Amino acid sequence: MKKIYLCILILTASFILASCAKFASKKEEDYVMTIGSEKISVGEFSIYLFEQKTMFEETGGSDIWDTDFNGVPASEVAKENAYNSVIYVKTACQNADEVSVSLNDDDRAEAQALAEDTFGRMNPDYCSAVGLDMEKTAAVMEEIVLHQKVMDSVTMTYQLSSADYSAYIDDYMAENPDDETPRATLESTLREDYIRLKKDEIYKEQIDTWSENIKTEKNSAVWDNIVITDL
């Protein structure tokens, strides 16, 4: 199954609420965050976090949640990454018309397949508790696919600078003196990651421009009760 690359800031993330049943009431206050005037429900937020949980554990195993990153618990890093994911996706979707991007039938089919895969791997009792169903999952996946198309459009004109890339390799070799990989091999193996890094920088600048007047805020009453657990 194809994985959607969200943005450079997104490392990995995961969450489950300590007690799913308490969110079953669908109250007005049962939202995790706001972006502009839009409230992001617990169910919608859980989709981002579930996928990030998968990526996180694929990288570090289930013990990753016992790890700190510069003194910050992995669970807190996860929550912040998911928060940033939502901001990127929502901001991109709100500005898709500006870059003449929209979904076509193939995109919707891709989103549906992603939704079926994700929803099929989630705990059905959990989904029921937070009001998440297949239709809502597909709607979120359509936004994620649209976000990717916006990113591709914003960064499509990027051209690799040979001089800048050569300097990057110089820096890498200076910072990793024990790496005896031949320079030609490094230039080949690091090229894709370098291009992604530069595109991420371009895209982040655009997202920052689009979102500079948009207020985002966490709903602490819900946010503070989010914990990492297995689905």
Q: So what's the pLDDT on residue 209? A: 95
**20-47 pLDDT tens trace:** 334 333 444 589 999 999 999 999 999 9
Q: Give, to the nearest 10 degrees, the angle between helix 134-155 and helix 74-94.
A: 70
**174-229 pLDDT tens trace:** 999 999 999 999 999 999 999 999 999 999 999 999 999 899 999 998 888 876 56
Q: So what's the pLDDT on residue 211? A: 92
Cα separation, 79 vs 76, in Å, equals: 5
Location of structure tokens 């807190």: 76
Higher per-residue confidence, 215 vs 13: 215
Higher per-residue confidence, 75 vs 175: 175
Compute CA 187 distance to the chain's CA centroid, rounded to the nearest angstrom.
28
**pLDDT classification of 74: cutoffs 50, 70, 90:** confident
Location of structure tokens 């989709």: 47
Q: So what's the pLDDT on residue 229? A: 61
Sign of CA dihedral 34, 38, 41, 45: negative
Cβ 151 vs Cβ 206: under 8 Å: no
Higher per-residue confidence, 103 vs 12: 103
Which of 76, 33, 82 has its CA nearest to residue 55?
Answer: 82
Write down the mean pLDDT value for the chain. Answer: 86
Can you read off the two tokens belonging to residue 107?
């995109």
**89-137 pLDDT tens trace:** 999 999 999 999 999 999 999 999 999 999 999 989 888 888 899 999 9
Location of structure tokens 């979102």: 211
* Contacts with 23 (C-beta within 8 Å, 6 or more apart), sequence order: 17, 30, 42, 129, 130, 131, 222
Counted residue by residue, the chain has a size of 231
Q: So what's the pLDDT on residue 207? A: 96
Q: Give, to the nearest 10 degrees, the angle between helix 134-155 and helix 105-121.
A: 130
CA atoms within 13 A on the CB side of 76: 8
Q: So what's the pLDDT on residue 18? A: 37
The answer to pTM > 0.75 is yes
**151-175 pLDDT tens trace:** 999 999 999 999 999 999 999 999 9
* Contacts with 187 (C-beta within 8 Å, 6 or more apart), sequence order: 165, 169
pLDDT at 6 over 70: no
